[in-house]
Amino acid sequence: MNTQNKTYLKRLFKILHPGHVVTANWLESFGISRNLQKYYLKSGWLESLGRGAYKKPGDTIEWHGALNTIQMQTELRVHVGGLSALALQGFSHYFRMRNETLHLFSPLKTKLPKWFADYDWTMDIKHHQSSFLPPDLGIIELEQQGILIKASAPERAIMECLYLAPKSIDLVECYHIFEGLVNLKPKLLNELLSNCNSVKVRRLFLYMAEKSNHQWFQFHKLEQISLGAGNRMLAEKGVYIQKYLISIPKELAEL
């Protein structure tokens, strides 16, 4: 091995951290060509995780290590959201645990890398593509087993739950989660609601916020939040809430 290749190999060992994935494009940005990558793979210094993605030989990769790679090494906007984001931040005792499901959110027409989508992560991954909220608003960094990942703050995560309800998440369950969200930030909530283009989410959020009667609700600038026009039926034979123009399950109305 010549001196230049040794330099690149040292560079590889420096950037290839345990629990992390590196992409072929990322390695190329450090001067490690595709031919060198093939050589390192053949020599046992790299191990393939799928087409265009590598890890340390013998290393165990979990979803957060792979997600960190997507978020930091590619231009894709993908974050942990909804119930998964709430669980990571300690709110899982307010809803039924679904450890087998990871909810990821991204803008419309975003495709997860094939190496990530095809890998067996021992859990069901739900990829939700939507444009009902600005892609970067209410996104925070969380540490998962020493690895940083981008996820929804609780203020955004509960809105993502409401976006999926009632088809994917029960509305009564959403309200039980709502009851536990006692420390939400009014400024961020107002910004999210003002930029939310889902009438359903805005109406459900305001209904549940008023019903739960948290202290932060008094700081809402309700005059800036449009409820739109027309009724929304979210349950058959439901209870109609005239103030918010929604029909909701009887079980929720009676809580």
pLDDT for residue 233 is more than 80: yes
Q: How large is the average pLDDT for residues 226-247?
A: 93
- For residue 93, the model assigns a pLDDT of 74
pLDDT for residue 3 is more than 80: no
Q: What CA–CA distance (Å, rounded) separates 125 from 246?
A: 31
pLDDT for residue 9 is more than 80: no
Distances (CA, A) of 116 to 16, 50, 111, 147: 18, 8, 10, 17
| Per-residue pLDDT band at 86 (split at 50, 70, 90) | very high
Lowest mean pLDDT among 38-47, 62-71, 192-201, 222-231: 222-231
**Confidence (pTM):** 0.93
pLDDT for residue 173 is more than 80: yes
3-class secondary-structure state, position 241: strand
- For residue 2, the model assigns a pLDDT of 56
pLDDT, tens only, 239-255: 999 999 999 999 999 99
| Per-residue pLDDT band at 46 (split at 50, 70, 90) | very high
Q: How large is the average pLDDT for residues 10-16?
A: 81
Average pLDDT, the chain: 92
22-23, strands of its sheet edge to edge:
22-23, 53-55, 47-50
- For residue 97, the model assigns a pLDDT of 56
**Percentage of the residues of the chain whose pLDDT score is greater than 90:** 81
Q: Which of 161, 180, 144 is nearest to 105 (CA)?
A: 161
